[in-house]
Amino acid sequence: MRVFVTGGKGDLGRRVVPRLLMSGHEVVVGTRSPQPRSDGATEHRYQLSEPTELPERTAAVVHLATDPFRSKRDLIGIKHLVVAAATAGVGHLVYVSIVGIDDHPYPYYRRKLGCELIVERSGVPWTILRATQFHSLTRIFAEQFRLPFVLFPSGIPFQPVDADEVADRVAEIAVQSAKGRASDLGGPEVLDFKESIQAFLRATGSRKPVWSMPVFGKTIKAFRSGRLLTPNESGGRTFDQWLLSVSGRN
C-alpha cells in the first residue's frame, strides 16, 4: 500500500521510512525540501502551514511533521491534513503524540493535545500513539546552546525510549487497520533529564557543564510531577546502551 509519511526525514521519520519499504510498501515522504532519493521512496512537497495535496492513491498517512518552536503551525498543519485525508478517502491516519500531555501547561503539549482532538474528530479512521521522549532529545538540548555551558531545569524525571523502537511500532501500526488510542510507549527506566544531558555531553567528549536553570511556576511543576512517565515500558534499549552507540561519533 502507499503510505505518505510527513516529517519522513526527521528523527523518527527516517527510521519509519525504511521499515515500511522493507515490508514491501510504497512510501512517499512529505518534506519542505523534496530531493531525488535512491532507497525506493519518493519525496513530495509538504508544508504544515499550507493546504495539503496528498499524493495520488495514498492509503495511509503517518503524520510526523512538527515544528516545536512554532507549534501553532502543528495545529494549522493537522487541520489541513485531515481535510485532505477525508477528501481523498484515506483509510488510516496515524498521529504520533507524547505521553502525559493532558492538562499540561507547556504550549507545545497543549497544541499536541489539540492536534489529537482534531484527529479524533476528523472522521478519518485514526490511530494515536503516544511515546515518551526519545534518547536523542538529550542531544538536542546538549547542542542547542552555543555557550560554554548548558542551562536546564533540575528535577525533571523522564523515561527515554529508543526512537528505533518507536519506529518499529509506528511502521507496524501504519499498515494495520485504525486502532484509536494505541497503548502508550515508554523506555525501560526513569532517569533525571538534566543528568542525562550531562551524561550525553560526557559520552561525546564534551566538558561543558550543565547548570540548573532556576524556573518557577505551573509549567515546571507539571514537568517535575512525573506525568511524562508511563507504566507501559518497552523493555528495550537503555539510555546507557544508546550512549554507547553515539559516543563514537565525536
Residues forming contacts to ligand NAP in the complex (CB under 6 A) are 7, 9-13, 31-32, 46-49, 64-67, 73, 96, 98, 131, 133-134, 137
Between residues 76 and 151, which has the closer beta carbon with respect to ligand NAP? 76
CA nearest 242: which of 173, 169, 166?
A: 166
Between residues 138 and 198, which has the closer beta carbon with respect to ligand NAP? 138
Closest contact distance (angstroms) between CB of 8 and ligand NAP is 7
Closest contact distance (angstroms) between CB of 68 and ligand NAP is 7
Closest contact distance (angstroms) between CB of 49 and ligand NAP is 6
For 151, 187, 196, 221, the CA distances from 204, given in Å and listed in that order, are 18, 22, 12, 30
Q: Which three cell numbers stand for residue 203?
A: 559520552
Between residues 33 and 148, which has the closer beta carbon with respect to ligand NAP? 33
Tell whether the torsion through CA atoms of 147, 148, 151 and 157 is positive or negative. Answer: positive
Closest contact distance (angstroms) between CB of 47 and ligand NAP is 5
Which residues lie below 8 Å from residue 239, measured CB to CB, with a gap of 6+? 135, 138, 160, 187, 189, 191, 196, 199
Between residues 39 and 209, which has the closer beta carbon with respect to ligand NAP? 39
Please state, as a whole number, how many other Cβ atoms lie within 10 Å of the Cβ of residue 21: 16
Contact 20, 44 (CB under 8 A): no
Report the distance separating Cα 219 and Cα 123, nearest Å: 33
Report the distance separating Cα 246 and Cα 250, nearest Å: 8
Closest contact distance (angstroms) between CB of 206 and ligand NAP is 20
Between residues 10 and 91, which has the closer beta carbon with respect to ligand NAP? 10
Between residues 32 and 209, which has the closer beta carbon with respect to ligand NAP? 32
Report the distance separating Cα 58 and Cα 245, nearest Å: 36
Closest contact distance (angstroms) between CB of 148 and ligand NAP is 26
DSSP 213: P
Q: Which three cell numbers stand for residue 123?
A: 472522521
The CB-nearest residue to ligand NAP is: 10
Closest contact distance (angstroms) between CB of 115 and ligand NAP is 8
Residue found under cell 518499529? 168
Between residues 76 and 215, which has the closer beta carbon with respect to ligand NAP? 76
> H or E segment at 217?
none
